[in-house]
Amino acid sequence: MMSRMDKHQGTSLAADRGFDDAEDLSAKAILAVKLNDLIDKRCLSQNEVADITGMTQPKVSQVRRHKLQNISLERLMQALVSLDQHVEIIVRPARRAHTAGITVAV
């Protein structure tokens, strides 16, 4: 079942997980949390994740330690796709019921 996280929830999640600059990193933080959860669930080493995703082991280590300043949103999305995940970006006009903003669904 897919749950939706708004920017506030994503920021809170990011702060709770120890991400630096959680306010600015909410979308990246949410994707990194999902990536880390998959790594844990599959019991993968950092080297295995690097081999699967094409990231370097030091970049995987940064994600594992929630240091996302030098990791792009696109890189996180590509890593999730490498781990058999479907990543979707939806752009639509904001309506009265939905304010303008960014939502990441996981």
Arch. (CATH architecture) of 4-105: Orthogonal Bundle (1.10)
Residue 98 DSSP code: B
Q: What is the pLDDT of residue 21?
A: 55
DSSP reduced 3-state for 65: coil
Q: Are 64 and 17 in contact (CB under 8 A)?
A: no
Q: Which residues of the chain have pLDDT under 50?
A: 1-9
Which helix (H) or strand (E) covers residue 74, if one does? helix 73-82
Q: Are 81 and 71 in contact (CB under 8 A)?
A: no
pTM of the model: 0.70
CA-based nearest residue to 17, from 35, 3, 2: 35
pLDDT tens digits along 68-92: 999 999 999 999 999 999 998 888 7
Domain map of the chain by residue range?
Answer: 4-105
